[in-house]
Copies of this chain bind each other. A is one copy, B any other.
Amino acid sequence: MVEGGALGQVNRLREASGEIEWSEAALELTRHMSKTNIRLSDYFSTQLHTHRNYSLIIDQISVLIISSLLQCNFRRCFGSAATVIERNTSFSTLNSDDVSYFKELLGEKSVVEDEDVLLTANTDWMRKYKGSSKLLLQPKTTHEVSQILKYCNSRCLPVVPQGGNTGLVGGSVPVFDEVIINMGSMNNIISLDKVSGILVCEAGCILENLISFLDNHGFIMPLDLGAKGSCQIGGNVSTNAGGLRLVRYGSLHGTVLGLEAVLANGDVIDMLGTLRKDNTGYDLKHLFIGSEGSLGIVTKVSILTPPKLSSVNLAFLACEDYFSCQKLLVEAKRRLGDILSAFEFLDNQSMDLVLNHLEGARNPLPSSMHNFYVLIETTGSDESYDKEKLEAFLLSSMEGGLISDGVLAQDINQASSFWRIREGVPEALMKAGAVYKYDLSIPVEKMYDLVDEMRIRMGQTAKVIAYGHLGDSNLHLNISAPQYDDKILAQIEPYVYEWTSEHKGSISAEHGLGLMKANKIFYSKSPETVQVMGSIKKLLDPNGILNPYKVLPQSLSSYH
């Protein structure tokens, strides 16, 4: 089409003033190029060579520039030149009838077109991903979610479900003009069984609110994250969030007992069981745990919450090398296994960053700078015994040379200040400038080799910051630079993914794939496995309206 009637089309478009038409012309052009695998510069030199028609070329370039100036959302490019995403052409575009329908269904107040609100909802926490949705809906009931999806599915209107929007892979913001379904209004706690500790609540409940609620009843949430003040349980479940307590309580696949989800066609799938054991048919809830809203929208959750144990102890330790951290972990699992509730680490570059960028942060072990810091938390039922046990363990670890220094939190304030160091690294990174974030799972023995290699690779151009959940083999590798720069990115990717894949690691331990890594899935999953994922996506969401462009490569999640 571009080659045939492109000139006429461009001329026509030049006269037109509408944004959409400019965008469509640009879309045609990029589509043609992506189909034939031609790069922009190659394309134009071929055109020039073939047609010798400067006017045509200039017109085409104009189209691209204008559509780019208009912040055309029909083509997005994130960091890597290889990741070109096109809007799925089978999707409809929102019109005033749609908005009227939603207003009728939800009431005026729950249909948000306010630009400021939309700007926030279109942008992710890191300000790295930005969509251009024109509409945000706030359903209050499962029925409303069902009606919204039924309608959107029939109209082929894409949607993005949004919880606290604290994701780190661009999974919770629109890529183009998807309708945002914000779950924050579904925030009721439905029940808590005080015998079994089973909590049932709506998806929009903020994690910290659930933590406080449970605290009053003698229970705790089996997961805890730095983002707890904003993130919602529905988002936690949909992304299979990990966090700080996984080493003790396991993943959400183990602790979520049931859920309710709405499929793309509006069908409500009630799997909201409250039983610890239920072997009646396929355990479908697991499809919705960690599928990032691409198979259905989680509306309610039933979760097993452990009893709040009275005695919590926290040690902040220093190790001189990574091997000592590893050995310390093995020993801690064996000797503190019954009370161990967190085993976290950060390296000295992370500590540096926190001390430099986080107000009020101070090193709990200030006498000298150490290479590694480890936080060990225990949770048990016997204050004096647990402390004694931890102290005995630390003493023998110090005698054995595994730790070179350490301090036990004396009260809750000191414990908070220790956690502030570890939990504050992401915030410090944000303040330090641009950051390339990688959330990897790599067998513990090899984990830090990657960090060392990256330091050599990056040289002076960027800092390599490593911390994470050592107890679960989860490394947060961060490359911190003054600003984003494609040259830096090219130094990191695909190297990081290739290295992780070679060492049988996961390129996303707990953050999910979202938009950032949808096309990177093959680094961690076999083609046959991804193919089955694609078939399941197609089965449950045949029009591909649910959180499009995310999780799976676009070839598998868009069918048109």
> Beta-carbon contacts of A305-342 to B below 8 Å, as 1s and 0s?
01101000000000000000010011001111111000
* Distance of A98 Cα from B179 Cα, bound (Å): 55
> Is A177 an interface residue, CB under 8 A from the partner?
no
* Distance of A193 Cα from B445 Cα, bound (Å): 11
* Distance of A196 Cα from B269 Cα, bound (Å): 37
Contacts of A280 in B (CB 8 A): 506-508, 513, 517, 521, 523-525
- Asked if residues B270 and A526 are in contact (CB atoms below 8 Å), the reply is yes
- Asked if residues A276 and B473 are in contact (CB atoms below 8 Å), the reply is yes
Q: Which listed segment binds B: A281-289, A415-423, A478-486? A: A281-289
Contacts of A279 in B (CB 8 A): 239-240, 242, 290, 506, 508-513
Q: Which listed segment binds B: A70-78, A105-113, A532-540? A: A532-540
> Is A382 an interface residue, CB under 8 A from the partner?
yes
Closest to A294 in B: B282
Give the distance to chain B from A147, nearest Cβ to Cβ, in Å. 16
Give the distance to chain B from A84, nearest Cβ to Cβ, in Å. 21
* Distance of A507 Cα from B278 Cα, bound (Å): 8
- Asked if residues B253 and A286 are in contact (CB atoms below 8 Å), the reply is yes
* Distance of A251 Cα from B258 Cα, bound (Å): 14
Known: A509-B279, A529-B271. A196 touches B473 (CB 8 A): yes
- Asked if residues A441 and B306 are in contact (CB atoms below 8 Å), the reply is no
* Distance of A177 Cα from B124 Cα, bound (Å): 57
Contacts of A523 in B (CB 8 A): 280
* Distance of A502 Cα from B267 Cα, bound (Å): 23
> Beta-carbon contacts of A440-459 to B below 8 Å, as 1s and 0s?
01011100000000000000
* Distance of A197 Cα from B334 Cα, bound (Å): 11
Give the distance to chain B from A191, nearest Cβ to Cβ, in Å. 11
> Is A61 an interface residue, CB under 8 A from the partner?
no
Contacts of A214 in B (CB 8 A): none
- Asked if residues A529 and B269 are in contact (CB atoms below 8 Å), the reply is yes
> Beta-carbon contacts of A373-393 to B below 8 Å, as 1s and 0s?
000000111100100010000
* Distance of A343 Cα from B218 Cα, bound (Å): 21
> Is A123 an interface residue, CB under 8 A from the partner?
no
Residues of A participating in the B interface, judged by any CB pair closer than 8 Å: 193, 195-197, 218, 239-240, 242, 246, 250-251, 253-255, 263, 267-271, 273-284, 286-287, 289-291, 295, 306-307, 309, 326, 329-330, 333-339, 379-382, 385, 389, 441, 443-445, 469, 472-474, 504-513, 517, 521, 523-526, 528-530, 532-533, 535-537, 539-540, 551-552
Could you show 24 A-B contacts with beta carbons less than 8 Å apart? A193-B443, A196-B444, A239-B279, A240-B279, A246-B276, A251-B254, A251-B277, A271-B526, A278-B506, A279-B511, A279-B513, A280-B525, A282-B290, A282-B291, A282-B295, A282-B536, A282-B537, A283-B286, A286-B287, A306-B337, A309-B338, A338-B339, A382-B389, A532-B540
